[in-house]
Structure 1
Amino acid sequence: MFSVAAITLSLAALASAAPTAGQWASTSVSVTPHDKFSSSVGVLGCHIDTNRVAYFPYFPSCDSPCIEVSNGERSVYLLHIDQSGGAFDISYDAWNYLQNGQSALENPTIGGGIPASWKRVEADKCAHLIKTDTGKLPLSAANSMGFYAGCGPESWIGQNAELRNIQNSACTLGHDEVCTLDLSVSNQPSCPHQLGIQTELKDRPVKNIDYGTRVESTAV
């Protein structure tokens, strides 16, 4: 359950972290590889392309989760769904592609930061990275309400995200079902099964590509 106070705090945090005009313009950074999927706002890895995620030091935007990162002639679109402690991390496979033009499953490389530029772009440029039947960004019904409600119903997140009864971003617990939310009735989503149920979910594995290898492992 979330409270009005929690939503107020979330709104304040989102407002302070909202993208400025400069964040919509191209900015030069050093991007580093990240080989373990996570999402601080509860995006479900089993319904997105986890090889195309940005882990940037900014809180994910309510207006567009889509970032374009470029290194010379190569560029990738990434879902910005996690806040790092300060690094400009991106999925290992995306970093590998910017480095050598190939997937980490084909020709894995190792290394640290590479020079790149990034800019936030329109959300529809990342539509192919979202794998739900509805095309909506999948959020954990039990654990994403601060972000979802804090963004507000008129934001891109409010209009284009859905709540699913999966407990964690690695999709190992819960039921893969869409929930509904009617704030005039309750401040909790309503799901076919109990909200936040801890049933083991075995058929929605989230895969990482382990750093420096062609090996895929299951996220936990």
Structure 2
Amino acid sequence: MRLVALFSLLVAARRAVADGGTVWATPHDSYSSSVGVLGCKVNSDRIAYWPGSIDCSNICVSLSYEDRSVYLLRIDQSGGAHDVSYDAWNYLYTGYSATSKPAAGGAIAMEYQDVDVSNCADLIHTDDGKLPLSAANSMNFLSSCLEKDSWIGKNYRLYNILDPICTWGYDEPCTLDWPAANQASCPHALGTPAVLTSAPVWDIKYPSGHKVLAGSPPVPGGPAPPSPDAGNLGKVASKALMALSFATWAICWL
């Protein structure tokens, strides 16, 4: 009996460690989702990009620093870092949004806790509160969730949008006759690469705090480009310097 009790305590302790602890959180400024969650239908400023595969039920975490905390959707897998959306990281670090008072910095020790998905309900912007997935590119992940008793298996909504930043496809819901079919049916042909502009995803760039359209080319920084005459002025200055040097040499020679 004592061995059984001790084993139960060890299992509970390991589970507690797995469900919470300290992570070194770093800012992430470009929305993505390795399982095809559509950024135009969730709060893309409250995302956790953490190591490990995405779970079918455990997709909501609470992250805290000092007296501040936020809920994050864990819907993307990183290569090893505990990245979080820049706006969430900035708020936890400074108490301000990244758009109002952007800050720069690296990894900061923060406390996390896995919590029930209901805590992240405000982060999901579909009409019925179900997780929005790409009908064309989320089926492998969704199938794994449908094959077991899971939150996502019971709370998903497919859309005919091809990419997580919602730039291709049609913003329309699709239906899935699971398990009779493993491909969704949509009003338009599934996976049609039509240009989509009605459902933009906005990134908050690090460390400027500027909002930019996700997927758009980066705005180059640094000094302003030279004026059209700058090259000619440089050539004139160079020739003048050469003439002055030659004149000085000639005077010395004489």
TM-score (norm 1): 0.88
Q: Which amino acid aligns with 1:191?
A: C
Q: Secondary structure of the equivalent of 1:128?
A: helix
- Give the equivalent residue in structure 2 for 1:73: 67
Moved more, 149-158 or 72-81: 149-158
- Give the equivalent residue in structure 1 for 2:103: 109
Rounded to whole Å, the distance in 2 between the matches of 1:81 and 1:214 is 23
Given the alignment of the two structures, is residue 95 of structure 1 paired with residue 89 of structure 2, yes or no?
A: yes
Q: 1:131 aligns with which of 122, 125, 128?
A: 125
Instruction: Give runs of aligned pairs for residues 2-21 of structure 1, distance below 5 A.
Output: 21=15
Rounded to whole Å, the distance in 1 between the matches of 2:155 and 2:124 is 11
- Give the equivalent residue in structure 1 for 2:187: 192
Q: Larger C-alpha radius of gyration, 1 or 2? A: 2
Given the alignment of the two structures, is residue 58 of structure 1 paired with residue 52 of structure 2, yes or no?
A: yes
Rounded to whole Å, the distance in 1 between the matches of 2:17 and 2:52 is 10
Q: 1:30 aligns with which of 17, 24, 41?
A: 24
Q: Secondary structure of the equivalent of 2:76?
A: strand
Identity of aligned residues (%): 50
Rounded to whole Å, the distance in 2 between the matches of 1:24 and 1:126 is 19
Rounded to whole Å, the distance in 1 between the matches of 2:19 and 2:79 is 22
Given the alignment of the two structures, is residue 120 of structure 1 paired with residue 97 of structure 2, yes or no?
A: no
- Residues 1:25 and 1:183: Cα distance change in structure 2 (over 3 Å): closer
Query: Does structure 2 conserve the Cα–Cα contact (< 8 Å) formed by 1:32 and 1:114?
Result: yes
Q: 1:47 aligns with which of 36, 41, 46?
A: 41
Cα deviation digits, residues 79-123 of structure 1 (max 9, x gap): 000000000000000000010001001100001011101121000
Given the alignment of the two structures, is residue 175 of structure 1 paired with residue 167 of structure 2, yes or no?
A: no
Report which of the two has the higher share of helix: 2
Given the alignment of the two structures, is residue 165 of structure 1 paired with residue 165 of structure 2, yes or no?
A: no
**Structure possessing the higher relative contact order (Cα contacts under 8 Å, 6 or more residues apart):** 1
Q: 1:206 aligns with which of 191, 201, 209?
A: 201
Rounded to whole Å, the distance in 2 between the matches of 1:62 and 1:195 is 24
- Count the aligned residue pairs: 201
Rounded to whole Å, the distance in 2 between the matches of 1:168 and 1:123 is 24
Q: Secondary structure of the equivalent of 2:120?
A: helix
**Structure 2: unaligned runs, 5 residues or longer:** 1-13, 216-254
How big is the alpha-carbon RMSD for the aligned residues of Structure 1 and Structure 2?
A: 1.3
